[in-house]
Amino acid sequence: MAETRLRILLDQNIPAAVAEWLRRQRPSWQVDHVNGLGFAGQSDEFLYRWAQDHGSIIVTFDEHFADARFYGLGRHSGVVRLRVWPTTTEATIVALARLLERIPESDWRASLIIVDNQKIRVRRL
């Protein structure tokens, strides 16, 4: 079964090179990076609203995007919170490669996914 088009917004704390890597891995997806959209320095609230308006899943190192008091399940298109150290391009790609391998695209939508160096947790509404 062919994958449907998923839209991803990489936060400014995600290395820009990750966007190109992810586009190569999933050419059917729309992958945007905050810097590429001209949104560098914009507030998290702005980025969150933009992501919701465009149906984008946010990929970020920012822990507050995983805080249900601010960004509750069922109120967003999806959040992937990376808890990977170090926060290098290489470590980020390794973490996302594990995510791509283990979690089907359908589970990314409207979920909170937390990826650390050891495991992946998916929280759904």
Task: Examine residue 90 and state whether it is found in any structural domain, yes or no.
Answer: yes
- Condensed to tens digits (0 to 9), the pLDDT of residues 9-31 reads 999 999 999 999 999 999 999 99
Give the number of domains in the chain: 1
Tell me phi and psi for residue 89, to 5 degrees: -60, -45
What interhelical angle do 89-102 and 17-25 show, nearest 10?
30
- Condensed to tens digits (0 to 9), the pLDDT of residues 49-104 reads 999 999 999 999 999 888 877 777 777 899 999 999 999 999 999 999 999 999 99
Task: Examine residue 2 and state whether it is found in any structural domain, yes or no.
Answer: no
DSSP string, 22-39: HHHH-TTSEEEETTTTT-
Range of the domain at 114: 7-123
- Residue 39 sits in a domain of what CATH number? 3.40.50
Tell me phi and psi for residue 91, to 5 degrees: -65, -35
Task: Examine residue 59 and state whether it is found in any structural domain, yes or no.
Answer: yes
Res. 1: pLDDT tops 50: no
pTM of the shown model: 0.93
Pairing of strands 112-116, 120-123: antiparallel
